[in-house]
């Protein structure tokens, strides 16, 4: 069998089919148009409307605080990408439950949030899943997303209520005044446009720092709550400030006089400091030493002024002597047990202003002796009592420096034999 004999039967069939189609060309054209219409409708249903009769979606129940305008048949998306449709929206036990039918080939992580959002102010709501990651576990048929993980748009009633509160704070008279002022001159519309442009720029700037603004508002709740709790004290403080400022207002003449006299006084003080700068330098140097010594004795000073080991303080004792219009004191004529310091004794009749011994220590071991003396006073860690063995027990304090303003203290008593 040759190649011609093999190709002849199919060729005859093809020729007969073409002849038959030519004879019935109207019917063939109609069938072609019907086939094209069927294909176009199938593409429109499958692609545009998203209807796939072969798809078996899985359903997820999403609990919402309110519907947010969500209706059955609206789209379900994952970060804006369509993955299904809302099957139904029902009210169950004071909650709105939206059943989302999601394509079977789409896997959505159980983590993250779900929101009911709108494409525009006119509506066009949709259910948007916002998974935190692409990792499992994934949502399955019958899964439930609780209301604490969902969000909905602000209801129109709440927005109008908030807007009503804002409008209530606007004074119509002032608003009318602003409107009249803007219309006084020819540049009024331009000024209004500049105000609107500035407001738009402000809003866009706030939008760029929205997370920081939200954190600021959340942190301000604590401050506002604290102010709310202390509103009684704030009222009292405001009343006191009002009284104080009222007194200040009644004494404006005195304040004006004070402000007028202050510059000459400061100029004179500056002149005095300039003339006595060498003395001030030495004084400040001495104050450094005094401050260092005082800093190392802070525990002892605190015990002196604000004692913790006993009741009262030295200041309380001094203040208690002044009462009933006089100064009161108690004196004991009986000799008391005194401490013995193992240092040479100088005659009291020699007024030579001798320097004190710096390492003197009470050698009496009696613990009841001098309960408020230096032995029991708080001291720095590097200043033990008694002094360590290498210290000279007869060492005296250094002679005070003599300056041009030092008052001389020469010997002023009679001559007496003996050591001085």
Does 118 lie in the same domain as 136? yes
pLDDT of residue 28: 73
pLDDT in tens, the chain (420 residues): 576 677 777 777 777 777 777 777 777 778 878 888 887 777 776 666 555 666 678 888 888 888 778 888 888 888 888 888 888 888 888 888 888 888 888 888 888 888 888 877 666 788 888 888 888 788 888 888 888 888 888 777 777 887 887 778 888 888 788 777 776 667 767 777 788 888 888 888 877 777 888 888 888 888 888 888 888 888 888 888 888 888 877 777 777 888 888 888 999 988 888 888 888 888 888 888 888 888 887 877 787 777 776 666 777 778 888 888 888 888 878 877 777 778 888 776 666 677 888 877 777 777 666 666 666 666 676 666 665 557 788 888 888 777 788 877 777 666 666 555
pLDDT of residue 414: 67
Does 120 lie in the same domain as 174? no
Does 150 lie in the same domain as 66? yes
pLDDT of residue 52: 61
Does 173 lie in the same domain as 150? no
Domain boundary residue, one of 95, 120, 155: 155
Does 142 lie in the same domain as 87? yes
Question: What is the dihedral angle through the alpha carbons of 61, 62, 65, 66, rounded to the nearest 10 degrees?
Answer: -80
pLDDT of residue 50: 58
pTM value? 0.36
Give the number of other Cβ atoms within 10 Å of residue 114's Cβ. Answer: 24
Handedness of CA 18, 20, 22, 27 (dihedral sign): negative
Instruction: Specify if 295 maps to a domain.
Output: no
Does 172 lie in the same domain as 150? no
Range of the domain at 173: 157-206
Domain boundary residue, one of 206, 237, 272: 206
Closest CA to 124 of 132, 134, 116: 116
Does 193 lie in the same domain as 119? no
Does 162 lie in the same domain as 176? yes
Instruction: Specify if 188 maps to a domain.
Output: yes
pLDDT of residue 337: 73
Structurally, how many domains does the chain consist of?
2
pLDDT of residue 150: 86
Instruction: Specify if 239 maps to a domain.
Output: no
Instruction: Specify if 148 maps to a domain.
Output: yes
Does 150 lie in the same domain as 161? no
pLDDT of residue 321: 86
Instruction: Specify if 361 maps to a domain.
Output: no
Does 164 lie in the same domain as 106? no
Instruction: Specify if 416 maps to a domain.
Output: no
pLDDT of residue 418: 57
Does 131 lie in the same domain as 82? yes
Domain boundary residue, one of 155, 174, 195: 155
Does 184 lie in the same domain as 150? no
């Amino acid at each position: 069998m040759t190649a011609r004999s093999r190709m002849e039967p199919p060729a005859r069939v093809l020729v007969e089919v073409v002849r038959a189609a030519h004879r019935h060309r109207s019917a063939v054209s109609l069938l072609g148009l019907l086939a094209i219409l069927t294909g176009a409708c199938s593409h429109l249903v499958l692609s545009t409307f998203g209807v796939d009769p072969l798809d078996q979606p899985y359903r997820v129940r999403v609990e919402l605080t309110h519907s947010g305008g969500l209706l059955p048949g609206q789209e379900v998306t994952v970060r804006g990408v369509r993955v299904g449709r809302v099957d139904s929206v029902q009210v169950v036990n004071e909650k709105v439950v939206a059943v989302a039918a999601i394509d079977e080939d789409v896997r959505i992580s159980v983590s993250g949030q779900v929101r009911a959002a709108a494409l525009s102010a006119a509506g066009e709501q949709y259910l948007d899943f916002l998974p935190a990651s692409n990792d499992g576990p994934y949502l399955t048929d019958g899964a439930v997303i609780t209301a604490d993980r969902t969000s909905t748009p602000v209801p129109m009633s709440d927005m109008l209520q908030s807007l009503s509160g804002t409008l209530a704070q606007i004074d119509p008279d002032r608003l009318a005044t602003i409107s009249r002022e803007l219309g006084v001159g020819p540049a009024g519309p331009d000024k209004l446009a500049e105000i609107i442009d500035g407001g738009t720029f402000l809003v866009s700037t706030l939008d760029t720092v929205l997370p920081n603004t939200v954190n600021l508002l959340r942190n301000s709740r604590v401050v506002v709550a604290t102010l709310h709790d202390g509103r009684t004290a704030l009222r009292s403080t405001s009343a006191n400030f009002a009284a104080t400022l009222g007194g200040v207002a009644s004494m404006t003449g005195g304040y004006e006089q004070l402000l007028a006299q202050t510059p000459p006084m400061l100029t004179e003080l500056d002149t005095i400091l300039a003339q006595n700068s060498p003395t001030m330098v030495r004084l400040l140097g001495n104050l450094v030493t005094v401050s260092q010594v005082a800093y190392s004795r802070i525990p002892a000073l605190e015990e002196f002024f604000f004692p913790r080991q006993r009741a009262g303080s030295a200041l309380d004792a001094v203040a208690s002597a002044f009462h009933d219009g006089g100064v009161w004191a108690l004196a004991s004529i009986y000799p008391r047990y005194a401490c013995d310091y193992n240092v040479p004794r100088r005659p009291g009749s020699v007024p030579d202003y001798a320097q004190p011994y710096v390492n003197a220590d009470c050698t009496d071991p009696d613990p009841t002796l001098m309960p408020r003396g230096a032995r029991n006073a708080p001291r720095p860690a590097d200043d033990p009592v008694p002094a360590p063995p290498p210290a000279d027990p007869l060492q005296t304090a250094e002679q005070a420096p003599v300056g041009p303003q030092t008052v001389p203290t020469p010997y002023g008593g009679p001559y007496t034999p003996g050591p001085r």
